[in-house]
Amino acid sequence: MKRVYNFSAGPSMLPLPVLEKAAAELVCYGDSGMSVMEMSHRSPAYEAIIGDAQKLIRSLMNIPDNYKVLFLQGGASTQFASVPLNLMNKNKAADYVITGQFSKKAYEEGKKYGDCKLVASSEDRNNTYIPQLTRWNFRFNRADYVHICFNNTIYGTKFNYIPDTGDIPLAADMSSCILSEPVDVSKFGVIYAGAQKNVAPAGLTIVIVREDLLGNARPETPTMLDWKIMADNDSMYNTPPCYSIYMAKLVFEYIQGLGGLEAMKAYNQKKCAILYDYLDSQDYYIAPVEKEYRSMMNVTFVTGDADLDKKFAKEAGACGLQNIKGHRSVGGMRASIYNAMPIEGVEALVAFMKDFAAANPKK
Ligand SMILES: *Cc1c(COP(=O)(O)O)cnc(C)c1O
């Protein structure tokens, strides 16, 4: 069967050359005589894989030497607890910005551990924008960290700037935008991301954390959630998500082969522009997000008629443009066009949108 264009928000498409390489190596990896899935994580062959993955992500993201990269399990959602457990250690206080469902979940989780203040929110306009934040939004001498979600997967918004939090460490959920473009890691205390949007199959969570923030986890922190313990053990305190890390390594190599994150960004900009330019050129579909906060990765739009939206998703699916239905909480359509979505997929989507609009005039 032919592969479809899969617009799923996650798990989502992986680059075809990566899948093909993994398939070729599936049964027998190199001269090991076994699959990566069957390998001891302490074997030299596997240590080379995880070591290369570490080196590659450091070089791709230009991660400074004073940051650790951890390969963990539990998904981004586990980090909603890990962040407060590891960082809410001085004043037992943190500042949160809500720009969508995941940042709200992070805030709710954080509240279990101390004084979490909601310092800004975009809920007043249905999360169609990103609040402008300055240092004065944050509780200087009080907040142990500030938490944001950099790209809002469900609403299709993205921070178009990095908030200045002064001396307060900035914690960012980058699950749906990591590796989509260069980012100045040094502006963050910690960056975390579930892998299943832009990096690898589900099961791997990447944490990039500044070293000086390690070692002061709260006493009740479960061993498995303590970043310092994971860092001291090179992410192998216990069995890591071996196969997902291997897949991540292949994806890192693939991105490096394209020319790194600058090249990736150029490709992603070109790709999302095809869709946004079309959306801006017509009035059948409505793109609710304010232009300057549009995500490159998740593009949301509606027809304004719930029945038509439903029909759209169904018919698009039948044409090989799958999983275009918006998140169950917001409805409408959402095209997740992560790194691995080819330009041809977006072109096919726009062609379908034109046909659909012509065939389904609004009353
Ligand atoms: C998908 C997603 C999550 C949830 O990730 P899990 O790995 O399923 O826990 C959290 N935050 C953002 C921004 C996401 O896109």
**Within this chain, do residues 321 and 237 fall inside the same structural domain, yes or no?**
no
Spatial distance between the Cα atoms of 79 and 82, rounded to a whole number of angstroms:
4
Helices first, then strands: H and E counts in the chain:
9, 13
Ligand 1 centroid – CA 172 distance (Å): 12
Going from the C-alpha of 45 to that of each of 40, 219, 252, the distances in angstroms are 9, 36, 18
In DSSP notation, 248-261 reads HHHHHHHHHHHTHH
User: What pLDDT score was predicted for residue 329?
Assistant: 82
Spatial distance between the Cα atoms of 337 and 9, rounded to a whole number of angstroms:
8
Mutate which of 153, 179, 334 for ligand 1 pocket (most atoms within 8 A of beta carbon): 153
User: What pLDDT score was predicted for residue 363?
Assistant: 78
**Within this chain, do residues 264 and 137 fall inside the same structural domain, yes or no?**
no
Q: Which residue owns the Cα nearest ligand 1 atom 13? A: 175
Read off the CATH number of the domain in which 323 is found: 3.90.1150.10
**Within this chain, do residues 245 and 310 fall inside the same structural domain, yes or no?**
no
- At residue 137, φ and ψ (nearest 5 deg) are -75, -20
Q: Is there an atom of ligand 1 within 6 Å of 102 CB?
A: yes
Q: Is there an atom of ligand 1 within 6 Å of 149 CB?
A: yes
Q: Identify the domain containing residue 186 by its residue range.
A: 16-257
Q: Which of 52, 100, 59, 117 is nearest to 298 (CA)?
A: 100
Residues of the chain with confidence (pLDDT) below 50:
none
Q: Of 205, 231, 257, which marks where a domain is finished?
A: 257
Q: Could you tell me if residue 203 is inside a domain?
A: yes
In DSSP notation, 121-183 reads ESGGGTT-S-----GGGS-TTT-S-EEEESEETTTTEE-SS----TTSPEEEE-TTTTTSS--
Q: Could you tell me if residue 9 is inside a domain?
A: no
User: What pLDDT score was predicted for residue 140?
Assistant: 96
**Within this chain, do residues 272 and 248 fall inside the same structural domain, yes or no?**
no
pLDDT digits (tens, 9 = 90+) for 190-220: 999 999 999 999 999 999 999 999 999 999 9
Q: Is there an atom of ligand 1 within 6 Å of 360 CB?
A: no
Read off the CATH number of the domain in which 139 is found: 3.40.640.10
User: What pLDDT score was predicted for residue 205?
Assistant: 98
Q: Of 200, 223, 257, which marks where a domain is finished?
A: 257
pTM exceeds 0.75: yes
**Within this chain, do residues 24 and 148 fall inside the same structural domain, yes or no?**
yes
**Within this chain, do residues 43 and 82 fall inside the same structural domain, yes or no?**
yes
SS3 call for 272: helix
**Structural domains of the chain, count:** 2
Q: 94, 107 in Cβ contact below 8 A?
A: no
Spatial distance between the Cα atoms of 354 and 75, rounded to a whole number of angstroms:
37
Q: Is there an atom of ligand 1 within 6 Å of 181 CB?
A: no
Q: Is there an atom of ligand 1 within 6 Å of 75 CB?
A: yes
Burial code (b: 16+ CB inside 10 Å, e: under 16) for 162-173 equals ebebeebbbbbb
